[in-house]
Amino acid sequence: MQDNTGVALTRRQLLGRIGLSAGGAMMYQAMTSLGMAAESSYTGPVKLQGSPKGATVLVLGAGLAGMTAAYELRKAGYKVKILEFNARPGGRNWSIHGGDTYTELGGATQHCGFDKNLYINPGPWRIPHHHRAVLSYCKQFKVPLESFVQVNFNAFLHNTEAFGGQPKRFREIDADYKGHISELLAKSTKQGALDKAVTKEDQEILLESLRNWGALDRNLSYVMGEESSVRRGFAKYPGGGVSGKPEHSKPMRVEDILRSRLWATLAAGNNYEMQTTMFQPVGGMDQIGKAFARELGPGVIEYNARVTEIDQDERGVTVTYEDTTAPGKAKTAKADWCVCTIPFSVLSRIPVKVGAEMAEAITKLPYAASVKVGLQFKRRFWEEDEAIYGGISYTNLPITTISYPSTDYHSPGKGVLLGAYIWGLNAFDYTSHTPEERVRKAVEYGSQIHPQYKQEFDNGVSVGWHRVPWTHGCFGQWTEQLRERYYGAATQIDGRIAMAGEHISYIPAWQEGAILSAHDMIGRLHKKVMATGGAA
Amino acid sequence: MQDNTGVALTRRQLLGRIGLSAGGAMMYQAMTSLGMAAESSYTGPVKLQGSPKGATVLVLGAGLAGMTAAYELRKAGYKVKILEFNARPGGRNWSIHGGDTYTELGGATQHCGFDKNLYINPGPWRIPHHHRAVLSYCKQFKVPLESFVQVNFNAFLHNTEAFGGQPKRFREIDADYKGHISELLAKSTKQGALDKAVTKEDQEILLESLRNWGALDRNLSYVMGEESSVRRGFAKYPGGGVSGKPEHSKPMRVEDILRSRLWATLAAGNNYEMQTTMFQPVGGMDQIGKAFARELGPGVIEYNARVTEIDQDERGVTVTYEDTTAPGKAKTAKADWCVCTIPFSVLSRIPVKVGAEMAEAITKLPYAASVKVGLQFKRRFWEEDEAIYGGISYTNLPITTISYPSTDYHSPGKGVLLGAYIWGLNAFDYTSHTPEERVRKAVEYGSQIHPQYKQEFDNGVSVGWHRVPWTHGCFGQWTEQLRERYYGAATQIDGRIAMAGEHISYIPAWQEGAILSAHDMIGRLHKKVMATGGAA
């Protein structure tokens, strides 16, 4: 089996994760679990013992890995400097705000027309509660956090091939799926199907639990009644006074639920990285990158610096770069040591003086494709018309995801949705379109779920990660085979050059991986520096 | 079967809801589903056609029902006045802030020692996304809302009789319960147990879904491995660089999960009123009551007014009351019509001139007991030590619930927990203790789940609702029999007196019920006024 990057994936790796139900909506789930389902192994603040005696470190890239390395190494006594391609800190820690301009590979420039207070996060957009490293910096740097709503029982599940293309509320599918499997298991139990596996006493507890958990009636059936309506919602909701008497709703049939395949995303919020409580920084994910830059202070980061060559010898590292605002003139920076956080997708196109093993690793890591589309609408119709506040609707359409803002509830002005979060083959397809075309298609597809789209659409932006000039892809897509063969080489300190970033971690695509890779690396680098006597 | 109020409950009503597993922690769930699992039947802003020609309405109680009635009736042209027992608006819409003082029945006075920015909501503390009436007023009155975290996968489930009294993380029980029942159903299916109920084709989809949803391996088993660790968490979590390789965790045995009974609260967040997205007003639930009072403007509400008698004749209503700040002197207020939102638990002790049917209804409605305890700690150890941000831990101890603040994450100062949310018999027991004793016991019990309690405890407040002077109970506890017999009489407009409040609704205990009962009632009252020509 081949994925879109041409890399062979085992059946276990891909289908095992997708649950044999690969499709647009499922790719998202699959991607988030490819090696990424992980709690932080952060063990507390970095402590580097011993003075480096003025040793200098040149950091390439002011993303979270690079800024973490610079921040912690400076605290330990190093002299640090960062070269950054962009005119801003953060790297993939990035928010596009109203008024921003972004030019992708190929030259297409977008001027974000969002209202001034609105934004979209093209890269990371949510933080699990167990990503302790990134959270500890948020706390330390006083980056205010708010809840990110991952699961919304009132959001939609949509499959063009089910229920005539009509979306269902998450709660209906969730309640009915659980109710039906509980009933099936209860009946099997009563018929003796579990007699070999479970004691009679435990079977009694099991039945009791299924009744409670699956909302079964006294006969252990999942049927129309108060028990099921309390989960799936009512046909007529209770109210006040004389007019308030409720009416129960009718569960869907088990075969309709199964054949709809809408069960496929029910467990998205049960994946470790998606489990409540999740966070987002108030005002955009870029608040974290900005906080790091603020803590580093002026003069540490040189922006608009495009690295063109990385050289080293026994005495130090020399990096050649150009100022992208005054191109054509090579500049150089020298240091005793180099921390390189440039994604391998970019680094593989730059001469780097490292050993054959690391050099091969740099060329072998494919980068996942992903496209996000942010859509501004004239009003927050999802709140006003549909009582959807935050959370995610899933669809089998190429957009896979519509995510609603988890903040500024009830704000009377315009609102911005994540209108598409595209993975795999569809992402390559979308990346090849113009930004305007990506937006147009996101609106067209999304209107199958929210008919208000066409009337209320205002403007949009889109980021196809393979067209992002400083990454050429979304994240390092390690497979088991690739990791076994190349991860060790990629991770070793090669002479005076060490790599860091999400790609040098077991939590790819996550900010936590970037920060923990920096923590792991600076510990080893410092040890080496201390062993070699600090400065060259 | 008798509940603690002496009212007969049917087996279906009580046990059916509790899932046969009545116990401390389960009571909470049971109470929230006794007639309360309901979406709003709000149909949009109130529109009353035709002028009441200066008719006057006296509203008794400035809770949400009374203020809603006054606000909407005034908009329709009525002259309104509210008499309120407390020195503040809101009634059970109430937050105790640092610096507040509260005296309960029996005379015990508490001075809340919380830090100034901290509070506890003794009454309603969360708003479902489908409670459209209360949310529409929040939007209209610009009450800022933030997410209330109901389900937290990292919070604890605790049973003194299970796992040696050691709490488990919600995620571990949730993943293992779902994994095991999925495996049991998958194996039953493969053995032919479903052959009569489900077609072979649907069985294949079922197996596929169980594998995906239950995190089963390729053999449809729930075992130690990546699939299960991705849900229940890892033994060693993935990290960065060379040190980041993860190790899988080991699922618990099915019999241990079943016998622990910790499955009993897994579905709490699946109940319609508890489904994400939920809200709380920024700064305390009392922000809603304050907003209503602000919109009503000065002079509409007379505070510190204790109603002692309600009289009516064909021409109007006369209410006798006293100013509690200058007691002993009877005052009177007259109006054409009266909207009475005084809880029946209090009203039954006041002479009220209504017909025999309504008079009987007033005396027959029992009020549920409930106790809440708010605890301030010297630091937010639940965040710092345990990565618990918001959400709820459940226990079989009398406290039933520990709820963590869903706001000000990472704030460096003190923090306030909901340290107990007690129902049923235990609530009566706790109500009989002094406030200090309730707090002491909440700390003692809670320290079985959080050992940090003893070291970090700072101070606390507690509210036993049967000792609240203006309610004598928590909410009107309709049973099916009581509702059949008395609800109709309680709801009818008796001459010139109409009742409103959560007890005059099918959504008892919820603010939505109070507001919708007011909406329903004023529609009927206005019709009657128009039919009788407005003012008397």
- B213 vs A263: CB contact, 8 Å cut-off? yes
B-chain residue closest to A266, CA distance: B213
CA distance A114 to chain B (A): 22
Would the pLDDT of B97 be above 90? yes
Residues 110-129 of chain A whose Cβ lies under 8 A from any Cβ of chain B: 129
Confidence of residue A15 (pLDDT cuts 50, 70, 90): very low
Predicted confidence (pLDDT) per residue in A97-123, tens digit: 999 999 999 999 999 999 999 999 999
Q: Higher confidence at residue B170 or residue A14? A: B170
Classify A11-19+94-154+275-284+368-467 by CATH class: alpha beta
In chain B, where the domains are located: 11-18+95-154+275-283+368-467, 55-91+287-365+475-532, 170-260
**Whether A21 and B208 lie within 8 Å, measured CB to CB:** yes
User: Which of B147, B191, B205 is the closest to A406 by Cβ?
Assistant: B147
pLDDT of residue B536: 53
Contact B202 A37 (CB under 8 A): no
C-alpha distance from residue B14 to each of B11, B31, B475 (Å): 5, 9, 17
Whole-angstrom distance, CA of residue A464 vs CA of residue B301: 58
In contact, A500 and A341? CB cutoff 8 Å: yes
The Cα of A383 is separated from the nearest Cα of chain B by a number of Å equal to 9
Question: What tens digit of pLDDT does each residue of B360-379 get?
Answer: 999 999 999 999 999 999 99
Q: Output the pLDDT for position B41.
A: 73
Query: Which residues on A lie below 8 Å from B492 (Cβ)?
Result: 242
Helix (H) or strand (E) holding B464: strand B457-464
User: How does residue A316 score in pLDDT terms, banded at 50, 70 and 90?
Assistant: very high
Q: Are B501 and B491 in contact (CB under 8 A)?
A: no
**Both tokens assigned to A250:** 């009718």
Average pLDDT over residues B304-324: 98
Per-residue pLDDT for B24 more than 60? no
Closest approach of chain A CAs to the CA of B431, in angstroms? Answer: 29
Whole-number Å distance between alpha carbons of A320 and A331: 6
Distance CA B60, CA B254 (A): 56
Give B-chain residues touching A21 at CB under 8 angstroms: 208-209, 212
Which tokens hold the place of A289?
């990158």
Who contacts B194 (Cβ-Cβ below 8 Å, separation ≥6)? A184, A188, B188, B203, B206
Of residues A349 and B20, more confidence is placed in A349
Cite the DSSP H helix spans in A76-155: 132-140
Alpha-carbon distance of B321 to B305, in angstroms, equals 6
B 270-289 near A (Cβ less than 8 A):
270-272, 275-277, 279
Query: Which is nearest to A215 in space by CA: B278, B11, B16?
Result: B16
Least confident of B27-31, B176-180, B226-230, B472-476: B27-31
- Does residue B503 register a pLDDT over 70? yes
CA distances from A412 to A107, A379, A384, A451, A457 (A): 36, 7, 10, 20, 16
User: For B55-91+287-365+475-532, which CATH class?
Assistant: alpha beta
- List, as ranges, residues 145-204 from A with C-beta within 8 Å of B: 145-147, 149, 151-154, 171, 174-175, 177-178, 181-182, 184-185, 187-189, 191, 193-194, 197-199, 202
- CA gap A173, B499 in Å, rounded: 39
Say how far apart CA A459 and CA A295 lie, in whole Å.
35
Average of per-residue pLDDT across B59-81: 98
Arithmetic mean of pLDDT, B470-476:
97
How close does chain B come to A324, measured CA to CA in Å?
31
DSSP string, B468-510: -TTTSSSSB---HHHIIIIIHHHHS-BTTEEE-SGGGBSSTTS
B535 pLDDT above the threshold of 70: no
What is the rounded distance in angstroms from the CA atom of residue A380 to the CA atom of residue A458?
12
pLDDT of residue A534: 58
Structure token pair of residue B471: 């309610």
CA–CA distance, B534 with A194 (Å, rounded to integer): 70
Per residue in B426-465, pLDDT tens? Answer: 999 999 999 999 999 999 999 999 999 999 999 999 999 9
Tens-place pLDDT, residues B382-403: 999 999 999 999 999 999 999 9
> Is the four-CA dihedral B387, B389, B391, B397 of positive or negative sign?
positive
Q: Give me the residue from A19, A197, A391 closest to B277, CB to CB.
A: A391
Q: Of B69, B64, B84, B134, nearest to B529 (Cα)?
A: B69
A27 pLDDT band, cuts 50/70/90, is very low
CB contact under 8 A, B184 and A202: no
pLDDT tens-digit series, residues A121-160: 999 999 999 999 999 999 999 999 999 999 999 999 999 9
A420: tokens are 């598409």
The residues near A194 (Cβ < 8 Å, ≥ 6 apart) are A188, A203, A206, B184, B188
| Range in A176-185, B14-23, B241-250, B366-375 with the lowest mean pLDDT | B14-23
Are A255 and B202 within 8 A, CB to CB? yes
Residue with tokens 């859509």: A375
**Topology of the domain comprising B170-260:** de novo design (two linked rop proteins) (1.20.1440)
pLDDT of residue B527: 96
- What is the CATH code of the structural domain delimited by B11-18+95-154+275-283+368-467? 3.90.660.10
A contact residues 322-351, partner B, Cβ 8 Å cutoff: none
pLDDT of residue B248 exceeding 50, the answer is yes
pLDDT for the residue numbered B43 = 79
A181, A267, A390: residue with CB nearest B147 = A390
Indicate the average pLDDT of chain A: 92
Instruction: Quote the ipTM score.
Output: 0.92
- Residue range A331-388, pLDDT digits in tens: 999 999 999 999 999 999 999 999 999 999 999 999 999 999 999 999 999 999 999 9
Chain-chain contact of A188 with B208 (C-beta, under 8 angstroms): no
- Tell me the CATH number for domain A169-260: 1.20.1440.240
* For A152, nearest residue in chain B (alpha carbons): B276
State the average pLDDT over residues A15-37.
33
Residue B351 backbone phi and psi in degrees, to 5: -65, 125
Reported as a pLDDT band with limits 50, 70 and 90, residue A23 is very low
Cβ neighbors of B72 (< 8 A, separation 6 or more) are B46, B48, B518, B519, B522
* Burial class of residue B176, CB neighbours in 10 A (0-12, 13-18, 19+): buried
pLDDT at residue A39 is higher than 50: no
Q: How confident is the model at residue B44 (pLDDT cuts 50, 70, 90)?
A: confident
Residue with the bigger pLDDT between B35 and B131: it is B131
- Mean pLDDT on A228-249: 95
Decide: B338 and B310 in contact? Cβ < 8 Å.
yes
State the smallest CA–CA distance between residue A110 and chain B in angstroms: 32
pLDDT band at B534 (very low <50, low <70, confident <90, very high): low
Q: Is the peptide bond before A277 cis (omega within 30 degrees of 0)?
A: yes
- Mean pLDDT across chain B: 92
Identity of the residue in A199, A270, A409 whose CB atom sits nearest the CB atom of B231: A270
DSSP per-residue letters across B229-278: HHHH--SB---BGGG---B---PPPHHHHHHHTGGGGTTGGGSGGGPSPE
- pLDDT at residue A21 in the model: 33
- In this complex, do A520 and B12 lie within 8 Å of one another by their Cβ atoms? no
Cis peptide before A401 (omega within 30 of 0): no
Percent of chain A whose pLDDT exceeds 70: 92
Q: How far is B203 from chain A (nearest CA, A)?
A: 9
**A10 has pLDDT over 90:** no
**Greater model confidence, B4 or B222:** B222
Determine the average pLDDT of the residues in A203-213: 98
Facing A241 at nearest CB: one of B238, B267, B491: B491
Q: Mind telling me how many Å the CA of B282 is from chain A's nearest CA?
A: 11
List the single residue in A with minimal CA-CA distance to B182: A181
Best of B409, B480, B491, B499 to mutate (most A CBs within 10 Å, chain A): B409
Spatial separation of the C-alpha atoms in residues B355 and B365, rounded to whole Å:
16
Fold assignment, A53-85+287-364+476-532: FAD/NAD(P)-binding domain (3.50.50)
